[in-house]
Amino acid sequence: MKLVLVPTDFSENASHALEYAVETANAIGAGLLVMSVYSPPVSVQSALQTVVAEDTARVTKIYREKLNTIAETVKTEFPSVSCAVQVTVGDVVSEIVSLAGEKKADLIVMGTQGASKVVNVLFGSNTASVIEKAACPVLCIPQGLSYQTPKRILFATNFAYSDIEGAKQL
């Protein structure tokens, strides 16, 4: 395993996921890529295109600064873990899945929050969608869980033939 991708929205839950990701990367000698996605509230093709572009530039600068702070903390506390950052603009799920594919991430570690829809209660809609669409395994860290060395790992499957490779990686 060479690269662990960690999407963050800078929430407490995302911080717990980052903690798991850093510990995992440190334990297996992998690098870390911490990302954040900004989803503009309106379409870039709208009449407010200039305002949206300015807002996007402002917010992505803020996100980049926050991510750089995270990277510096990781580098200070875990000198053997390389940590890069990236800010993207667009749909959260699409951007996470796209970046994971582009960078050939071996694992995505992200927090879960739950959602109102019954099908997404365990993971939250974004996390459930990333699990469904990502080509690599996704480690889901439940809300409120502080880092503990894992003793058991759940491998969920629908018994598809393609799950065999995932089981081998696990």
How high does pLDDT run on average in the chain? 86
Burial 43-73 (b: 16+ CB within 10 A, else e): eeeeeeeeebeeeeeebbeebeebbeebbee
State the average pLDDT over residues 149-162. Answer: 81
Strands 31-38 and 107-111, bridge-based pairing: unpaired
- 3-class secondary structure, 144: coil
Cα 124 from Cα 22, distance rounded (Å):
22
Look at residue 26 in the predicted model and tell me its pLDDT.
94
Q: What is the dihedral of CA 14, 19, 21, 25, to 10 degrees?
A: 160
pLDDT over threshold 60, residue 116: no
**Coil vs helix vs strand at 160:** coil
- Please check the confidence at residue 132 and state whether its pLDDT lies above 50: yes
Model pLDDT, residue 118? 41
pLDDT value for 67: 97
Are 135 and 106 within 8 A, CB to CB? no
pLDDT band at 117 (very low <50, low <70, confident <90, very high): very low
Instruction: Quote the pLDDT of residue 169.
Output: 73
Percentage of the chain beyond pLDDT 90 is 54
Are 35 and 7 a contacting pair, CB within 8 Å? yes
More confident residue, 45 or 120: 45
Which of 102, 94, 93 lies closest to 84 in space, CA to CA?
102
Whether the pLDDT of residue 161 is over 90: the answer is no
Cα separation values, 25 from 64, 134, 152, 164, Å: 21, 19, 18, 24
Q: Cβ(9)–Cβ(36) under 8 Å?
A: yes
| CA 141 – CA 42 distance, rounded (Å) | 30
Lowest-confidence segment of 77-86, 103-112, 143-152 by average pLDDT: 143-152
Q: How confident is the model at residue 147 (pLDDT cuts 50, 70, 90)?
A: confident
